[in-house]
Amino acid sequence: MNRHLLSIDDLEVSDIEDIFTTAAEMHDVQKRSVKKLPALRGRTVINLFFEDSTRTRSSFEIAGKWLSADVINLSAKGSSASKGESLRDTVLTVTAMGIDGLVVRHGASGAAEQISRWVDVPVINAGDGTHEHPTQALLDGYTLTRRLGTLEGKHVAIVGDLTHSRVFRSNVKSLVKLGATVTVVAPPTLMPAGVADWSKEAGFATSYDLDPVLPEADAVMMLRVQRERMSGGFFPTAREYTVGYGLTRDRLSLLKPGTPILHPGPMNRGLEISADAADAIDSAVLDQVSAGVAVRMSVLYHLLTGEPQGNEGVGE
Partner 1 sequence: MPAHTASGSHEGLTGRVVLDAGDIQRAVTRISHEILERNKGSEDLLLLGLQTRGVPLAERIAASIAQVEGTTVATGSLDVTMYRDDLRDHPTRVASRTQVPAGGIDGKTVVLVDDVLYSGRTIRAALDAVSDLGRPAVVRLAVLVDRGHRELPIRADHVGKNLPTARSERVSLRLVETDGEDEVRIIGIVDSTGPTDGGEA
State the residues that interact with partner 1 by CB under 8 A: 1, 14-15, 18, 21-22, 25-26, 28, 32, 34, 36-39, 67, 298, 301-302, 305-308, 311-316
Distance CA 49, CA 54 (A): 10
Query: Pick from 292, 267, 291: which is nearest to 279 by CA?
Result: 267
Q: How far is the CB of 66 from partner 1 (least distance, A)?
A: 10
Nearest residue (CB) to partner 1, 37 versus 176: 37
Nearest to partner 1 of 21, 150 (CB atom)? 21
Taking the complex as a whole, how short is the minimal distance between the CB of residue 3 and partner 1, in angstroms?
Answer: 11
The answer for residues whose C-beta is within 8 angstroms of residue 38's C-beta and 6 or more apart is 67, 68
Q: Closest approach of Cβ 301 to partner 1, in Å?
A: 7
Coil vs helix vs strand at 286: helix
Q: Report the alpha-carbon distance of residue 269 to residue 224 in Å, rounded.
A: 10
Q: Which DSSP letter does residue 132 get?
A: B
Q: What are phi and psi for residue 184, nearest 5 degrees?
A: -105, 135
CB 294 to partner 1: min, Å:
11
Cβ neighbour number for residue 302 with a 10 Å cutoff? 19
Nearest approach, Cβ of residue 18 and partner 1 (Å)? 5
Shortest approach of partner 1 to residue 311 CB, angstroms? 5
Least separation in angstroms between CB 116 and partner 1: 19
Contacts of 157 (CB under 8 A, 6+ apart): 182, 183, 184, 185, 213, 214, 216, 217, 219, 220, 221
Q: Which residue's CB is nearer to partner 1, number 281 or number 314?
A: 314
Residues 6+ apart with CB under 8 A from 104: 48, 49, 50, 111, 112, 115, 123, 124, 125, 126, 128
CB burial string 18-43: b at 16+ within 10 A, e below: ebbebbbebbebeeeeeeebebbeeb
In the complex with partner 1, the residue whose CB is nearer, 78 or 308, is 308
Q: In the complex with partner 1, which residue's Cβ is closer, 21 or 86? A: 21
Nearer to partner 1, 14 or 237 (CB): 14
Euclidean distance between CA atoms 302 and 14, whole angstroms: 13
- What DSSP state is assigned to residue 157? E
Question: Is the CB of 201 or the CB of 316 nearer to partner 1?
Answer: 316
Specify the 3-state DSSP secondary structure of 176: helix
**Residue 119 or 299 with smaller CB distance to partner 1:** 299
Peptide bond into 266 cis (omega under 30): yes
Nearest distance, CB of residue 30 and partner 1, angstroms: 13
